[in-house]
Amino acid sequence: MALKNLRGRIAFIFEDDDFDVDQIVGVKNIKIQDLDELAGLAMTTYDPEFGSKVQPGDLIVGGHNFGFGHPHYPPMKALRHLGITGVVAESFSPGYWRGEISMGFPQISCPGIRAFVDRWDEIEVDWEAGIVRNISRGTDIAFEPLALADRAMLEAGGLLEYLKANTEENTQ
Amino acid sequence: MGYTITEKILARAADQESVRAGDEIMAKPDFVLAYDFPGYTDVYFKQMKEEFGIEKVAEPERFGIFIDHMVPVASPKEEELHKGTRAWCAENDVPLYERKGIGHQVAAEVGYATPGAFVVHFDGHISQLGTFGTLAIGLRRNILEAFVREKVSIKVPETVRVNLHGKLKPGVMARDVFHHIVRILGPSSCRFQVLEIGGDGLEDLSIEGIQSITCLAMFTGALTAIVNPANERLEYASSRARKELEPVSSDPDATYSAVHDIALDDLEPLVVIPPTPANSRNLSEYVGLDVHSGYLGSCASGRLEDIEVAARILEGRQVKSGFMLHVIPTSHEIMAEAGRRGYLSTLAEAGAYLSTSSCDFCYGRIATMTEGQRAVSTGTLNVKGRMGSPDSEIYLCNAATVAASAIEGCIADPRAYL
């Protein structure tokens, strides 16, 4: 099974390194489970009109060590509910990375990405070529290849599907 | 070229002659650990049965479950979770540790910190088993793989080596060593790697102090931390080990991605200011800042040396009126010993609130702060809302600083009391 290339606009760029993703919905909202409510709160401190500007297929960009701190799942659930299809960052914090890959949510580690895009540029993540194309600028940049297990997990659509797809290895 | 301890442990766990950093392997964890928490263990137990048809784990002795969060419970729903956990452990013949203390500490006490073992948990603070030469990694939700399969997929990590030299000055503790490592190496310095601690300075630190350091490895970006097993650490762990394994150590010519040296003599007490564990500062810059509560406990700190220093500072003194000091020993074993040594009576007489071991103080489930309040804490984290209101603040520091601050009602330098 091949991963489908991601194509969309850069809906937001988090310039800060060590970004704590809980800030996306705000810590006081972190226990909210309703996706519509969470999505309505997401990103409002960064751009009050984010919810109306974002389109299905859009991606977000982050800095170094994206997801540092004590990341919870609701912020990215909210972004996915708004149509965000992936995160491209300079680098990722391991706990965040594992958590989101296990949700089947594409994360692309791409050193240099912040300088490579402006907000609302259209990009394409080409899994086979291992590059991010900036369609708006006509340029491309290499990203770090996924570990085989991470790639298999994304192809399967998440941890549970990945483990269920390879049941012969389920030997408990 | 030689091998790191991490490469050696993973080679054995993968049943291979050797592995190198960067290899993608399937490794069989010697132990699979978890504490019960809603959305984690209850979901795994259900998924094992319903999605994978696993009625019973094949090797129950490889598993260990802890009840340390929501202890004691405050609602029927919480008790329902624990009840489900007890039932699963009974059905599966899996050892359950309840009311023994915080699981990451109890894991060492009951022998899961077997030198040379590969251990997985969902929670990254299990890294502290690295104190005993155990490779213990927090997998978050991927721990499900270890519940439904014999092996887990893992990319052999590279290693950053930090050598400690010399001795700490009075009032400076292992917590400060860790926060200093974050300060000089940076919060992403060890991303996806193992933080290996060594050097002659290790021998100046107690086992407990090294547990504090290895517990917090994730805030350097590390997958875990590890120390070559030797001396009293090896003795402690070998006498309790649950499995017979040959302890292994890094070869002198092992390959490291970076090597750093830290002189312990130069360190000062530090404070980590909110809202991120990346914000290490000199304590002296924050002395005098008003604080309302103090937390001495957690899987990182709250061990005998932490309780001892607090008792020494508070002996014959009183916690400032209006200040709430909470002292929670990391395990029952530690609490009992602190009692025998008289620390607990000193702390009680000084006005501290003492509680039997529980994780609940660390994440604000109890002793919850309201808006505008501020704590000094030996807990693991200082992110917004961690101990209550998102508009309360946590200053992480060593146990001596918590005790000194409790006397003054503001951030205080413990060296004045030692």
- Tens of pLDDT, residue by residue over A9-68, are 999 999 999 999 999 999 889 989 999 999 999 999 999 999 999 999 999 999 999 999
Q: Output the pLDDT for position A1.
A: 62
Task: Identify the pLDDT of residue A168.
Answer: 59
Cβ neighbourhood burial of B321 (10 Å; 0-12, 13-18, 19+)? exposed
Domain extent for B91: 27-149+156-263
Contacts of B362 (CB under 8 A, 6+ apart): B295, B297, B298, B299, B379, B380, B381, B386, B387
Q: Are residues B178 and B129 in the same domain?
A: yes
- B224 to chain A: closest CA residue: A94
pLDDT at A27: 87
Both tokens of A152, joined, read 């298999």
Does residue B406 fall inside a structural domain? Answer: yes
Alpha-carbon distance values, B73 to A143, B78, B136, B358 (Å): 47, 6, 28, 11
Residues B229-270 pLDDT 10s? 999 999 999 999 999 999 999 999 999 999 999 999 999 999
Instruction: Report yes or no on B396 lying in a domain.
Output: yes
Pick among B141, B280, B371 to test the A interface (most A CBs inside 10 A): B141
Model confidence over B353-376: pLDDT tens digits? 999 999 999 999 999 999 999 999
Cβ distance A94 to A44 under 8 Å? Answer: no
Compute the nearest-CA separation of A156 from chain B (Å). 14
- Per the structure, how many domains does chain B have? 2
Residue of A20, A98, A146 to mutate, interface with B, max B Cβ within 10 Å: A98
CB-CB under 8 Å, A169 with B278: no
- HSE at residue B347, side-chain half, CA atoms within 13 A, is 31
Do B179 and B307 belong together in one domain? no
- Residue A68 to residue B386, Cβ atoms within 8 A: no
Q: What pLDDT shows up at residue B174?
A: 98
Give how far Cα A15 sits from Cα of A63, A86, B235, Å. Answer: 6, 17, 48
Chain B nearest-CA residue for A66: B188
The overall average pLDDT reported for chain B is 97
Q: Rounded distance, CA B298 to CA B359, Å?
A: 6
B103 contacts B68 by C-beta, under 8 angstroms: yes
Residues B144 and B279 in one domain: no
State the Cα–Cα distance between residues A151 and A159, nearest whole angstrom.
Answer: 11
Q: Chain A partners of B381 at a C-beta cutoff of 8 Å?
A: 69-70
> Which residue has 């350097």 as its token pair?
B220
Say what percent of chain A tops pLDDT 70: 96
Of B142, B153, B221, the CB nearest to A93: B221
Q: State residue A169's pLDDT score.
A: 59
The residue out of B248, B263, B278 marking a domain boundary is B263
B371-398, pLDDT tens digit by residue? 999 999 999 999 999 999 999 999 999 9
- pLDDT for A170: 53
| pTM for the model | 0.96
B249 & B326 share domain = no
Q: Are A112 and A141 a contacting pair, CB within 8 Å? A: yes
Assess whether B70 and B212 both reside in one domain.
Answer: yes
Alpha-carbon span A139 to B23, nearest angstrom? 32
Say if the Cβ atoms of A172 and B54 lie within 8 Å.
yes
Q: Given this model, what pLDDT does residue A165 score?
A: 86
Instruction: Judge: A172–B148 Cβ closer than 8 Å, yes or no.
Output: yes
**Shortest alpha-carbon distance between residue A32 and chain B (Å):** 14
Same domain for B292 and B252: no
Do B256 and B314 share a domain, yes or no?
A: no
Same-domain pairing of B279 and B241: no
pLDDT per residue as tens digits for the range B44-76: 999 999 999 999 999 999 999 999 999 999 999
Cis amide linkage into residue B275, ω under 30° from 0: yes
Residue B125, domain CATH: 3.30.499.10
The minimum CA-CA distance between A101 and chain B, rounded to whole Å, is 9
Same domain flag for B46 and B125: yes
Mutate to test the interface with B, among A21, A70, A90, A102 (most CBs of B within 10 A): A70
Q: Chain B partners of A95 at a C-beta cutoff of 8 Å?
A: 124, 138, 140, 218
Chain B residues with CB under 8 Å of A99 CB are 140-141
Q: A52 — phi, psi (to 5°)?
A: -90, -20
Dihedral pair phi/psi, residue B354, rounded to 5°: -110, 140
A83 Cβ contact partners less than 8 Å away, ≥ 6 residues apart: A54, A55, A56, A57, A58
How many A×B Cβ pairs under 8 Å? 104
Instruction: Residue A122: count other Cβ atoms within 10 Å of its Cβ.
Output: 17
Structure confidence by residue, pLDDT tens digits, B115-172:
999 999 999 999 999 999 999 999 999 999 999 999 999 999 999 999 999 999 999 9
Which pLDDT score is estimated for B204? 94
My answer on whether B259 and B278 are in the same domain is: no
Residue at B10 is within a domain:
no
Residues 6+ apart with CB under 8 A from B266: B166
Chain B contact for A95 (CB, 8 A cutoff): yes
Q: Please identify, in words, the CATH class of the domain defined by A6-24+58-72+85-169.
A: alpha beta
Which string of DSSP letters, residue by residue, matches A80-121?
A: HHTT--EEEES-B-HHHHHHHHHTT--EEE-TTHHHH--TT-
Joined together, the tokens standing for residue A94 give 């391991």
Stretch B63-92: mean pLDDT, rounded?
98
CA B374, B380, B385: angle at the middle one, nearest 5? 45
- Residue B188 sits in the same domain as residue B288: no
Length of chain B: 418
Q: Does residue A167 carry a pLDDT above 80?
A: no
Interchain pair A147, B24: CB under 8 A:
yes
Of B212, B236, B263, the position where a domain reaches its end is B263
Cα dihedral value B9, B14, B17, B19, nearest 10:
-70
Q: Using the beta-carbon criterion (under 8 Å), do B58 and A70 form an inter-chain contact?
A: no
Neighbours of A64 (CB within 10 A): 21
Alpha helices, DSSP H, located in chain A: 35-41, 50-53, 74-81, 94-102, 113-116, 148-156, 159-165
Rounded CA separation A143/A46 (Å):
27
Peptide bond into B72 cis (omega under 30): yes
Q: Which of residues 240-269 of B touch A (CB under 8 A)?
A: none
Residue B309 scores a pLDDT above 70? yes
- Residue in B24, B142, B145 closest to A148 by CB: B24
pLDDT of A171 above 60: no
Domain ranges of chain A: 6-24+58-72+85-169
In this prediction the ipTM stands at 0.93
Q: What is the pLDDT of residues A62-109, one digit of tens each?
A: 999 999 998 999 999 999 999 999 999 999 999 999 999 999 999 999
Task: Take residue A139 and report the two structure tokens written for it.
Answer: 């340029």
CA distance B371 to chain A (A): 11
- pLDDT for position B90: 98
Contact with chain B for residue A129, Cβ under 8 A: no
